[in-house]
Amino acid sequence: MEIKVLHQVLEWNQDVSAEVRRTLAENKVCLINVMGSPGAGKTSLLAALIARLRGQFRIGVIEGDITGQSDAEKIAALHIPAVQLNTDGACHIEAMSIRNILPQFDLAALDVLFVENIGNLVCPAEFDIGENFRLTVLSIPEGDDKVAKYPLMFTDTDCLVLSKCDMLPYFDFDTARVTADYRAVNPEGPQFQTSGRTGAGMDALAAHLAGRIRAALA
């Protein structure tokens, strides 16, 4: 399948997030901004969520990467509309790029648009891309000190997913420490533990997201 690849043009002085949000609201599409480090398991998480949500919602995906299109190919193989956004070196996605890429989708035929942001635990958290809500993925191998060391990504999120939880036996990872650090910066934020390999926790996360998507589209 041919993947459309768009390139991000940085327009630092213009924040069009409000315009993106208005366009999506008019078309009744819920935008979910998925963020986390390189290799946190964002693409695998999306595939698992798509399998559980596609019976309830019509889903599209924007795959953000600095270069290449391997992630968009994985999503397109699921027969889900996917467009690759290449930032050509830039460390985050901006609302301008979302605005430019929306015409690639038939918004009338979508309920949910996932954006997989650039793998980066720092910069993407600083940019409003017009999303309805944010999901931050932290994988067990990254270590239990990451909420304390990269606080903005966990403060400005609507949901924390601890991924690769099948790896807990092999790493010195204190989930209680992560929960306490997360609570300190984000007292109301929900938290889930998942494993892409075993599927553990995916049903609960999908049910939670379904509720939020319905609320956003209501």
Would you tell me which residues interact with its own copies (CB under 8 A)?
A: 37-39, 65-68, 70, 89, 91, 118-123, 126, 139, 141-143, 145-146, 148-152, 164, 167, 170
Which CB, 110 or 147, lies closer to its own copies? Answer: 147
Which CB, 91 or 107, lies closer to its own copies? Answer: 91
In angstroms, rounded to a whole number, what is the distance separating the alpha carbons of residues 138 and 168? 13
In angstroms, rounded to a whole number, what is the distance separating the alpha carbons of residues 67 and 85? 8
Nearest to 161 by CA among 12, 25, 41: 41
Which CB, 169 or 187, lies closer to its own copies? Answer: 169
- Quick one: which H or E segment has residue 208? helix 202-217
In angstroms, rounded to a whole number, what is the distance separating the alpha carbons of residues 109 and 58? 7
Minimum CB distance to its own copies, residue 97 (Å): 16
End-to-end CA distance of the chain: 34
In angstroms, rounded to a whole number, what is the distance separating the alpha carbons of residues 57 and 84? 21
Q: Under a CB-based contact definition with an 8 Å cutoff, are residues 174 and 181 in contact?
A: no
Q: Any idea which residue has 């935008």 for tokens?
A: 31
Minimum CB distance to its own copies, residue 67 (Å): 6
Which CB, 71 or 111, lies closer to its own copies? Answer: 71
Minimum CB distance to its own copies, residue 100 (Å): 21
**E strand residue ranges, the chain:** 4-7, 30-36, 59-65, 82-86, 112-116, 133-139, 160-163, 191-193
Which CB, 126 or 203, lies closer to its own copies? Answer: 126
Which CB, 140 or 205, lies closer to its own copies? Answer: 140
Minimum CB distance to its own copies, residue 19 (Å): 26
